Homo-oligomer: A and B are copies of this chain.
Amino acid sequence: MSDKKYVNVFEFEDEAKKNLTNNAYTYYRSGANAEHTLRDNIDAYSRIKLNPYVCAGLKDIDLTTTVLGQKLSIPIGIAPSAMHRMATPRGELTTVTAAKKVGTIYTLSSLATTNMEDVAKEQPDALRWFQLYIAKDRKITEVMVREAERLGYRAIAVTVDAPYLGIREGDERNKFTLPPHLKLEILESFKKEFAVKGKEGSGLFEMFKDQIDPAMSWEDIKWLKSFTKLPVILKGIQNGEDALRAAQLGVHIWVTNHGGRQLDTVRSTIDMLPEVMHAIKDYRNTVEVYVDGGIRRGTDVLKCLALGAKCVFIGRPLLFSLAAEGEQGVLKMFELFEKEMKVAMMLLGAGKISDLGLKHLVKATIPVSNL
């Protein structure tokens, strides 16, 4: 176990880079096309200003919260991301163990390099969610969901922002493919055509086009709701209109642009959030809203929660801390978020998650030109 100290979440990336092949590092890091949205996901947070209240009389800070009825130690879940065995030998098994230790949600990706059962067995009591891509062959999808239920996954996050895979130029250049000793264990366990082999351009792009159904529609969401008892979450909602539609179907909402990896020049997620919250305001008792994308600072988390998100999720920080130091890296990364959040909430004058609200964001700075 390394005794390297990290002073912020960004620093795991440098360490990770040392341990990853260029093929893997590029796959983890990249965004779609010119990566405008990838950058904006991060930059947008510095445009939003916090509004601190003093003399708040807070003894300490409580970061716990409740998501879909389950208690989390910190309002930061692990977003689904593919292929953890490229980052660390035991891959998803390491991740689920870290999530259990932290006390937060682990969302297992359909594109994992470990199968659903092994992950479940590794940490039966972990707060596991399952992320679903809807296959052209709906039978496969149905069986997968039933399997998730059987293995104690607590929610189904259907990814709706990826009818096609986005074009990531680095992966095109590298003709990205899974290292030969690894497999998409979950998908291939259902059908072996799901393999990722790079020939022309990105192999993942090709597999997607062949096997995942771009024609997935709102009807499929109803169908899913019809046969599973698990809460359903739509991961990929990006505007108020779709958010309302989701809420009306009784599914939860995960605001994301897939970490800037799908459609370039869409808004940063934090810029989408106010519109989404506004659209579903009549459903706030029954529908939860989550958000991910570019969250690297304790203050980023607070801004999302102040706008109304129930919790946030992280993608690359998980991957890079995992690649840097395995389970230990993930724990260190969460400790950093915890410390930053606690200090920031103390300075903001908010003692617990439910205290956070719009008042903690600067709504109107009076410019001199308006005096």
Chain A residues at the B interface, C-beta cutoff of 8 Å: 5, 7-8, 33-34, 36, 45-46, 48-60, 160-167, 169, 172-173, 200-201, 214-221, 234, 236-239, 241-242, 262-267, 271-272, 274-275, 278, 297, 299, 307, 339-340, 342-344, 346-348, 358, 361-371
B59 and A215: CB pair below 8 A?
yes
B220 and A169: CB pair below 8 A?
no
CA distance A342 to B340 in the complex (A): 42
Q: Please give, as numbers and ranges, the residues of chain B lying within 8 Å of A371 by CB-CB distance.
A: 274, 307, 358, 361, 363
Residue from the set A162, A219, A368 with the largest chain B CB neighbour count within 10 Å: A368
CB-CB nearest in chain B for A36: B46
16 A-B Cβ contacts within 8 A?
A5-B201, A7-B173, A34-B297, A49-B265, A49-B267, A51-B238, A52-B266, A54-B161, A55-B160, A55-B221, A56-B217, A59-B214, A60-B214, A267-B365, A274-B367, A363-B369
B365 and A271: CB pair below 8 A?
yes
Known: A36-B46, A164-B343, A366-B274. A238 touches B297 (CB 8 A): no
A160 and B54: CB pair below 8 A?
yes
B265 and A347: CB pair below 8 A?
no
CA distance A1 to B164 in the complex (A): 30
Task: State the copy count for this chain.
Answer: 4
CB-CB nearest in chain B for A262: B347
CA distance A45 to B264 in the complex (A): 11
Q: Please give, as numbers and ranges, the residues of chain B lying within 8 Å of A275 by CB-CB distance.
A: 364-366
CA distance A215 to B347 in the complex (A): 11
Chain B: minimal CB distance from A243 (Å): 10
CB-CB nearest in chain B for A342: B164
CA distance A248 to B174 in the complex (A): 53
Q: Please give, as numbers and ranges, the residues of chain B lying within 8 Å of A54 by CB-CB distance.
A: 160-161, 234, 236-238, 242
Chain B: minimal CB distance from A179 (Å): 22
B266 and A163: CB pair below 8 A?
no
A263 and B53: CB pair below 8 A?
no
B238 and A52: CB pair below 8 A?
yes
CB-CB nearest in chain B for A343: B164
CA distance A6 to B299 in the complex (A): 38
Q: Please give, as numbers and ranges, the residues of chain B lying within 8 Å of A339 by CB-CB distance.
A: 167
Known: A238-B52, A265-B50. A215 touches B365 (CB 8 A): no
